[in-house]
Chains A and B, each alone.
Chain A
Amino acid sequence: MIIETILSLAIVVGASFALIGSIGLVRLGDVYSRLHGPTKSTTLGIGGLLLASVLHFSTGGQLSLREILVTGFLFLTAPVSAHMLAKAALHLGVPTVTRAPSAEDQDAFPETVAVARRPVSSTDASDRP
């Protein structure tokens, strides 16, 4: 009964994290922020589902550890693929969604205004390497 409750909780948490990651993939603004959703939430969701699988197949007596292999592989490869995707997006020059600081932001954080304005005033997009 305890095992069953933990297993159901792991399934629900894992599937919810996978869904949240995919919602972030659809809802966020540009490529660089969209990298945030899948690479964290989806691997955590798959981690929850595989934990449920380990619990389910370990109830027969012997410990089932093959799922740990999938989890470890995903945890190793997700940062690598995210890094490669970010490098590819930078190489293609995919535009970002920038937002000018509003009046409330300038009142609240006056020391950041100069930093936030610098790319707009001094540099051009064409002189980047």
Chain B
Amino acid sequence: MITLALYFGYAAISMSMLLCLYRVVVGPDLPDRIMALDTLYINGIGFLVLVGISLDDTVYFESALLIAMMGFVGTVAWCKHIIRGTIID
């Protein structure tokens, strides 16, 4: 039953990553693209969690934590660049 649930999870996460990629490509404005990249890395964290469950390996959570921190810093840096023109002031 876990195998079936993992298959469903892989399919759903991959589909949502494709939808986020669609929004990155056709998003009409810059905040759309930043938001889609934000959702894309969050879906990537979910995908890594699923890989960690199916391979029974805990090393993937370190990379999930790193992706969470770096993705948040990237989103905030993009927004600061839009609002202020500089990132560190």
Are A70 and B38 CB-contacts (below 8 A) given A15-B8, A84-B75? no
- Of all chain B residues, the one with the shortest Cβ separation from A46 is B46
Count residues on chain A whose CB falls below 8 Å from chain B CBs: 49
Cβ contact within 8 Å between B68 and A53:
no
CA distance in complex: A87, B76 (Å): 11
Q: Do B68 and A73 touch (CB < 8 A)?
A: yes
Known: A14-B9, A38-B35, A53-B52. A81 touches B20 (CB 8 A): no
In the complex, the answer to whether A16 meets B12 with C-beta atoms within 8 Å is yes
Given A38-B35, A85-B31; A49-B49 close (CB under 8 Å) = yes
Q: How many A-B residue pairs have CB under 8 A?
A: 152
Minimum CB–CB distance from B2 to chain A (whole Å) comes to 6
The docked-state distance in angstroms from the alpha carbon of A35 to that of B27 is 13
B87 beta carbon closer than 8 Å to chain A? no
A27 to chain B, nearest CB (A): 9
B61 touches A8 (CB 8 A): no
In the docked arrangement, what's the CA distance between A73 and B39, Å?
Answer: 15
Which of B36-89 touch A at CB < 8 Å?
A: 36, 38-39, 42-43, 45-46, 49-50, 52-53, 56, 58, 61, 64-65, 68-69, 72, 75-76, 78-80, 82-83
Which of A89-97, A98-106, A107-115, A117-125 is found at the contact surface with chain B? A89-97
B69: nearest chain-A partner, CB-CB? A73
**Partner of A19 from B15, B29, B69 at Cβ < 8 Å:** B15
Would you list the 4 A-B pairs with minimal beta carbon distance, nearest first?
Answer: A22-B16, A8-B5, A84-B79, A15-B12
